[in-house]
């Protein structure tokens, strides 16, 4: 197989492997493993953006590496600073090269974009000169795009998470859901702990969606129509701070979208809702028993009316 044929075969395998996995480190780790297995590069790994001025070492395969790299320094720092893929035929000739190992002879660094900004770089080194070319650039940029993908994430607290998860799974454009506990102070709580209302957590559904198929505006509107937005700490017969309603985001741009939708809804209603709008501080996945609960238990408890699920199934134009 040619190098291009190897990349073409590898890309769908990486995409399939990453499907459904939300953890960044896990995704990075398997991308590295698959690239290393296929091509046997001397060093393959990621550096994550740790601050506005520094990269920090992420998952990698190969010899010990530099743990932190300043923006603009070395090949990785240059790729991040200049927002472009950098191919270096001979690292000794690269201005400001950081010599983590004398065995590295050539290198390619590819920025990984997440919502309009670089969140990491993919760094690959070879023991040979002139290893990387435009074929590597083309396909490694595709690989890098798979790390974060086009999907986006949002978290909804909508009362009991069993019915809420079933609801969002029915929405066209939602590609992944999981239930858990959000924005409390207890680290990695159990369901029994959250049930006491002493952890500060809300039952929550993590929703990953394809913005080309469903907008954040639509998801928030569906959420507001699914819940009782004016009920404080109570949905259906479920009562307690763990059943409060809220929308939690991980991006400032999303906050403005949600704020606009929520404000429009409240203006039409003529009163303030009980829905809290906050950045996501933490989210802990609930026990496996709770994941897709109503799929496993079709007759199980659900505080939502059966009719509300038809709303989730409807297309935007219907």
Active-site annotation, residues: 160
Give the contacts of 307 (CB within 8 A, at least 6 positions apart). Answer: none
| Backbone angles phi and psi of 72, in degrees to 5 | 90, -5
**Token duo for residue 272:** 């303030």
With beta carbons less than 8 A apart as the criterion, state whether 46 and 144 touch.
no
Distance, in Å, from the CA atom of 32 to the CA atom of 79, rounded to the nearest integer, reads: 19
H or E element, residue 263: helix 252-269
DSSP H helical segments within 19-160, as ranges? 24-39, 74-82, 134-148
Distance, in Å, from the CA atom of 72 to the CA atom of 210, rounded to the nearest integer, reads: 33
With beta carbons less than 8 A apart as the criterion, state whether 62 and 124 touch.
no
Q: Which 3 state secondary structure label does DSSP give 28? A: helix
Distance, in Å, from the CA atom of 65 to the CA atom of 44, rounded to the nearest integer, reads: 10
With beta carbons less than 8 A apart as the criterion, state whether 161 and 204 touch.
yes
């Amino acid at each position: 197989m040619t190098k291009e044929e190897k990349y073409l075969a590898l890309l769908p395998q990486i995409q399939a492997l990453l499907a459904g996995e939300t953890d960044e480190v896990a995704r990075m780790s398997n991308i590295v493993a698959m690239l290393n297995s296929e091509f046997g590069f001397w060093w393959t790994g990621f550096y994550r953006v740790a601050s506005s001025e520094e990269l920090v070492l992420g998952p990698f395969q190969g010899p010990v590496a530099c743990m932190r790299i300043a923006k603009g320094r070395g090949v990785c720092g240059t790729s991040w600073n200049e927002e472009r893929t950098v191919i270096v035929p001979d690292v000794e000739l690269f201005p400001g090269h950081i010599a983590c190992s004398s065995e590295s002879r050539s290198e390619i660094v590819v920025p990984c974009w997440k919502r309009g900004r670089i969140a990491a770089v993919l760094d690959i080194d070879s023991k040979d000169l002139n290893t990387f070319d435009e074929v590597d650039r083309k396909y490694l940029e595709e690989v890098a795009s798979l790390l974060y993908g086009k999907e986006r994430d949002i978290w909804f607290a909508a009362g009991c998470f069993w019915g809420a998860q079933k609801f969002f799974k029915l929405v066209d454009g939602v590609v992944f859901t999981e239930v858990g506990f959000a924005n409390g102070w207890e680290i990695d709580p159990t369901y029994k702990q959250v049930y006491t209302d002493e952890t500060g957590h809300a039952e929550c559904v993590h929703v990953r969606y394809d913005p080309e198929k469903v907008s954040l505006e639509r998801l928030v509107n569906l959420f507001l129509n699914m819940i009782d937005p004016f009920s404080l700490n109570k949905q259906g017969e479920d009562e307690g701070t763990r059943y409060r309603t809220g929308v939690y985001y991980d991006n400032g741009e999303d906050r403005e979208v949600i704020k606009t939708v929520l404000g429009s809804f409240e203006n039409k209603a003529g009163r303030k809702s009980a829905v809290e709008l906050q950045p996501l501080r933490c989210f802990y996945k609930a026990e496996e028993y709770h994941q897709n609960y109503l799929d496993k238990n079709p007759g199980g408890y659900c505080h939502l009316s059966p009719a509300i699920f038809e709303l989730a199934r409807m297309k935007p134009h219907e």
